[in-house]
Amino acid sequence: MWLKKAVSINASRFFYLCLSGYTVAIVSQVNVIAMNNFQLEALLNAELKPEQVKDYSPNGLQVQGRDNVQTIVTGVTACQDLIDKAIEYQADAILVHHGYFWRGEPQSIRGMKYQRIKMLIENGINLYGYHLPLDIHPTLGNNAQLAKRLGIEIIGGLEPNNPVSIPVYGKLSTPMTLSQFEQQVATILSRPPLVIDGGQTTRIETVGLCTGGAQDLIDLAAAQGMDAYLSGEISERTTFSAREQGVHYFAAGHHATERYGVKALGEWLADHHGLTTHFVDIDNPRIKKAILHKKLFRIKKAAHQGGFVSSIVKVSRLIALIHRREFTLGIA
Ligand SMILES: [Zn+2]
């Protein structure tokens, strides 16, 4: 028996269900919103204003795909795994923070770059990339989203006299010791940061912040009198900049600090413009290792407070797990 219902289709989805030998068609009307791919670029440009900043890669539609976009996969970097996920989701577009065609990279399309672009074009997937404009957006941006999670109230740009400063600074609502803030960062990002003690013993209140690979802006943070500075990566020179200028440094992971901007942008597209978006986090490095280290920390603490024998067993099991090859370790 077929139950059919006429649906004034703008867009509808049909679900078929087999019940005791009968096929029943359940018609569910879902208003599926689709948008022209260039209109979507115009919408994103109007929100993120890429013309405000000089960037290292083109912002906007980087690889053209099919004309209409309904489903979007968002992620930090347009790597092959993210493209594979987008194909799985039958997405019409990928929206990322790290797209392609970076300044200074080889211009030819070959090897890894060819494989990625070939997959996008063969599957009709549009690729949108927004780099610095997504770092600095006052609410959806990487800096703003991370600051909110870490309890830092942004006061302004760290670059003096620059209305579109890339790094920002703010205050912790409750000043913290170095180890308290370290724990806070580890918990929020699910991975322990690499911390360089700047030597000062007062509680951390003012924090400079710039997600990703902005470790060299530590000198600016020191010049502006920050108690601490947080970014994603660390270089050899960063350690000495922190120690010699008395500013605590937190290298919290390039990927880990830049997950939240593109996620928020996808949610904004879904909430305000009715598009279907899926945020896909491709670990870099694997979060599991950080979680294991956190567990290890807790068990060691418990061992100090009693339960010594069982804690020793747990610790040795965890150490074995941490050192297995599947758990990779990296900084950025
Ligand atoms: Zn980045």
Give per-residue pLDDT as tens, 138-168: 999 999 999 999 999 999 999 998 999 999 9
Whole-number Å distance, alpha carbon 97 to ligand 1 midpoint, is 7
Other Cβ atoms within 10 Å of 147 Cβ, number: 22
Enumerate residue ranges in the chain where pLDDT < 50. Answer: 1-30, 287, 321-332
Q: Tell me whether residue 146 is in a domain.
A: yes
Q: Tell me whether residue 1 is in a domain.
A: yes
Whole-number Å distance, alpha carbon 233 to ligand 1 midpoint, is 10
Same domain, 227 and 298: no
Q: Tell me whether residue 58 is in a domain.
A: yes
Q: Which domain holds residue 18?
A: 1-32
Q: Tell me whether residue 332 is in a domain.
A: no
What pLDDT is stored for residue 285 in this prediction? 73
Whole-number Å distance, alpha carbon 175 to ligand 1 midpoint, is 28
CA distance 228 to 290: 22
Whole-number Å distance, alpha carbon 98 to ligand 1 midpoint, is 6
What pLDDT is stored for residue 324 in this prediction? 40
Please, where are the H alpha helices in the chain? 37-48, 80-88, 111-122, 132-136, 142-150, 178-189, 218-223, 236-245, 254-257, 259-273, 287-304, 308-322
Same domain, 114 and 157: no
Same domain, 238 and 161: yes
Residues 6+ apart with CB under 8 A from 169: 154, 155, 156, 157, 158, 206, 207, 208, 209, 221, 224, 226
DSSP type of residue 297: H
Query: Taking the model in full, what pTM does it have?
Result: 0.79
Same domain, 27 and 174: no
Q: Tell me whether residue 328 is in a domain.
A: no
Q: Tell me whether residue 327 is in a domain.
A: no
Q: What is the CATH number of the domain that holds 73?
A: 3.40.1390.30
Q: Tell me whether residue 329 is in a domain.
A: no
Whole-number Å distance, alpha carbon 131 to ligand 1 midpoint, is 7
3-class secondary-structure state, position 83: helix
What pLDDT is stored for residue 331 in this prediction? 31
What pLDDT is stored for residue 55 in this prediction? 97
Whole-number Å distance, alpha carbon 215 to ligand 1 midpoint, is 12
Beta bridge partners of 196: 249
Q: Tell me whether residue 224 is in a domain.
A: yes
Same domain, 173 and 194: yes
Same domain, 269 and 307: no
CA distance 27 to 31: 13
Whole-number Å distance, alpha carbon 22 to ligand 1 midpoint, is 54
What pLDDT is stored for residue 33 in this prediction? 82
What pLDDT is stored for residue 311 in this prediction? 58
Same domain, 48 and 27: no
Whole-number Å distance, alpha carbon 76 to ligand 1 midpoint, is 8
Q: How far is CA 146 from CA 39, 41, 82, 189, in A?
A: 29, 25, 22, 9
Residue carrying the six token digits 């920390």: 297
Whole-number Å distance, alpha carbon 167 to ligand 1 midpoint, is 13
Whole-number Å distance, alpha carbon 142 to ligand 1 midpoint, is 9
Whole-number Å distance, alpha carbon 212 to ligand 1 midpoint, is 4
Same domain, 271 and 298: no
Same domain, 274 and 295: no
Same domain, 22 and 68: no
Q: What is the pLDDT of residues 238-254, one digit of tens each?
A: 999 999 999 999 999 99
